[in-house]
Amino acid sequence: MVRAIAGEGTKMSEQSGTLADDPFRGRRPTSHERMTGLPWDASYHDGPAPWDVGQPQPTIVRLASKGGFAGAVLDAGCGTGENALYLASLGLSVLGVDVAETAVAIARAKAADRGIKVEFVAADAFDLERLGRKFDTVLDSGLFHTFDGDERPIYVASLASVTENDGNPICLVFQ
């Protein structure tokens, strides 16, 4: 079951109640969350997040048309799932993961509405090995650049742990 993990506009230090006691569910807040004082989930409480363009990123569409995605695909930090949904609509097997449970819930609702077979789960990109799965293509659209210099090597090692030996990592950095 998917539940919101923090109240609208609620700051880290102002939480009370069972879920709000730990909006991070035991994980260490990322550098971005420490900087903003808000869990990523809060980005999805008041309508679309600024990066959420409501459709797949044009670069993803272009790459896919050139055969850039193959086999099992992981979308790390999938947000509300437009890239994952697009790739799944092409017939690829896709798992989207995100720490923001509200985003995961929205992505699942879109998949159901559109009748697209795709998986979305709430998971931490720093601990992907826990998925117990390997992927042929690993997509990062706008996640890597949110991490600071200490986090990036940990994230890359986590990605490597779920990427097949001949797998293909694809990273889109927003400017």
Ligand X SMILES: C[S@@+](CC[C@H](N)C(=O)[O-])C[C@H]1O[C@@H](n2cnc3c(N)ncnc32)[C@H](O)[C@@H]1O
Give the binding site for ligand X (CB under 6 A). 30, 40, 51-52, 57, 77-79, 83, 97-100, 103, 124-126, 141-143, 146
Least distance between ligand X and beta carbon 154 (Å): 10
Q: DSSP readout, 21-63? A: T-TTTTSPPPHHHHHHSS-GGGGGSSSS-TT--SS--HHHHHH
Looking at the Cβ atoms of 122 and 167, the one nearer to ligand X is: 122
Looking at the Cβ atoms of 52 and 136, the one nearer to ligand X is: 52
Least distance between ligand X and beta carbon 74 (Å): 11
Half-sphere exposure of 71 (CA within 13 A, CB side): 15
Tell me if residue 118 falls in helix, strand or coil.
coil
Helices of type H across the chain: 31-36, 58-65, 82-89, 101-114, 151-161
Helices of type H across 115-149: none
**Burial of 156 from C-beta contacts in 10 A (0-12 / 13-18 / 19+):** middle
Tell me if residue 10 falls in helix, strand or coil.
coil
Least distance between ligand X and beta carbon 43 (Å): 6
Report how far residue 18's alpha carbon sits from residue 9's, in angstroms, rounded to the nearest whole number. Answer: 17
Least distance between ligand X and beta carbon 21 (Å): 20
Looking at the Cβ atoms of 65 and 166, the one nearer to ligand X is: 65
Looking at the Cβ atoms of 97 and 167, the one nearer to ligand X is: 97
* CA 91 to the chain's CA centroid: 20
Looking at the Cβ atoms of 40 and 120, the one nearer to ligand X is: 40
Least distance between ligand X and beta carbon 66 (Å): 19
